[in-house]
Structure 1
Amino acid sequence: MSSLDLLHISLADQCLYGFARGQLRVRVAVSTAVNGGGERNGSGCTPRGLHQVRAKIGAGLPQGAVLRGRRWTGETWTPTLHAQYPGRDWILSRILWLSGCEPGINRNGSVDTFRRYIYLHGTPDCEPLGVPLSHGCVRLRNADLLHLFDRVPVHCPVRIEEAACPQWADAPLN
């Protein structure tokens, strides 16, 4: 399994595309912000532009591990636990914490992606993907995140764009 050297997230497609040496290797459905794209702190939007994976959190935890404040609570998500905490913004399994690379756009001041705690993270299997529903983060299926986590190095570039990516939507995975 090769490492990925670029992640591209399309807000229009609600899809993450992973590349290694220019070849499409991964295509998975995601859920980005219900409020759309935007960079301001407190907006509840998914920040656009060029980012990097600043930190990887959760290596070795079980699939479905519940994370709060970037720490494992000791819980593992179940439908019963879900019913106990309706409306909870579940952060599960792993975290790929993003940092903006463009000062004034998604880095520093009131637009700082890292200080906004924007992650790629797992979500319960009962939550829909392919539609914007998050509070700003990028949600993935736990199994997809686990597959991605070991292939994405720290500092891997992550481009988040509004545009659809029709050239990759049906492209074969290499």
Structure 2
Amino acid sequence: MFQIKISIADQTLKLMQGDQLHSEFLVSTALNGAGETNNSGCTPRGDHYIRAMIGEGLPLNAVFVGRRFTGEIYNPNLAEMFPERDWILTRIMWLCGTEIGKNRLGHVDSMQRYIYIHGTPDPEPMGVAKSHGCIRMRNTDLVSLFELVTTGTPVSIEE
């Protein structure tokens, strides 16, 4: 069984199979750093699991709003029309915290905060904290990861 380990400090996502590293990807976590509180714009720490996987079979750069495919495919013209949009592209892996009072329930609930692993426009830098709380990945990397994991896959996010 696979598990995902995300390092906020290193801006990496490691896909582990038991004790063995299967794959490693650069990611982008929150510009505001680590934190669990609602509306903080921070990436939550601790143990999570993939609660839902959204977007299977859609093309690269498929645009999501409210976890629904809009029918749009991200491109420079679309980016110019919506310069302030936090683009959620290609696939969504929606995370659910497992630690009550830390990242689950109340004012620290990762799922209610809509914390995802998701794709982002290719010009966005990886290895640099820039997101609004989610874990951003390159679209092609995300598709590779999406094909290997399932709902229920454990995800650990560390500072």
Identity, in percent, stands at 57
Q: Distance in 2 between matches of 1:23 and 1:96?
A: 22
* Unmatched tracts of structure 2, length 5 or more: none
Residue 114 (structure 1) aligned with residue 111 (structure 2): yes
Amino acid at match of 1:42: N
Task: Kindly state the Cα deviation for residue 21 of structure 1 after the two structures are TM-superposed.
Answer: 2.2
Q: Distance in 2 between matches of 1:80 and 1:30?
A: 25
Amino acid at match of 1:24: L
Give the structure 1 partner of residue 131 of structure 2.
134
Give the structure 2 partner of residue 33 of structure 1.
30
Match of 1:144 among 130, 134, 141: 141
Task: Kindly state the Cα deviation for residue 153 of structure 1 after the two structures are TM-superposed.
Answer: 1.1
Q: How does 1:13-162 map to 2 (within 5 A)?
A: 13-162=10-159
SS in 2 for 1:16: strand
Give the structure 2 partner of residue 167 of structure 1.
none
Q: Over residues 44-86 of structure 1, what are the superposed CA-to-partner deviations in whole Å (9 max), with x where a residue is unaligned?
A: 0000000000000000111100000000000001111111111
Match of 1:12 among 9, 12, 17: 9
Q: Over residues 88-119 of structure 1, what are the superposed CA-to-partner deviations in whole Å (9 max), with x where a residue is unaligned?
A: 10000000000000000000000000000000
SS in 2 for 1:81: helix
Q: Distance in 2 between matches of 1:28 and 1:91?
A: 18
Q: Over residues 133-172 of structure 1, what are the superposed CA-to-partner deviations in whole Å (9 max), with x where a residue is unaligned?
A: 000000000000000001011111000000xxxxxxxxxx
SS in 2 for 1:150: helix
Task: Kindly state the Cα deviation for residue 15 of structure 1 after the two structures are TM-superposed.
Answer: 0.5
Structure 1: 4+ residue segments shifted above 6 A: none
Q: How does 1:153-172 map to 2 (within 5 A)?
A: 153-162=150-159
Amino acid at match of 1:98: L
SS in 2 for 1:19: strand
Q: Distance in 2 between matches of 1:22 and 1:12?
A: 21
SS in 1 for 2:142: helix
Amino acid at match of 1:136: G
SS in 2 for 1:31: coil
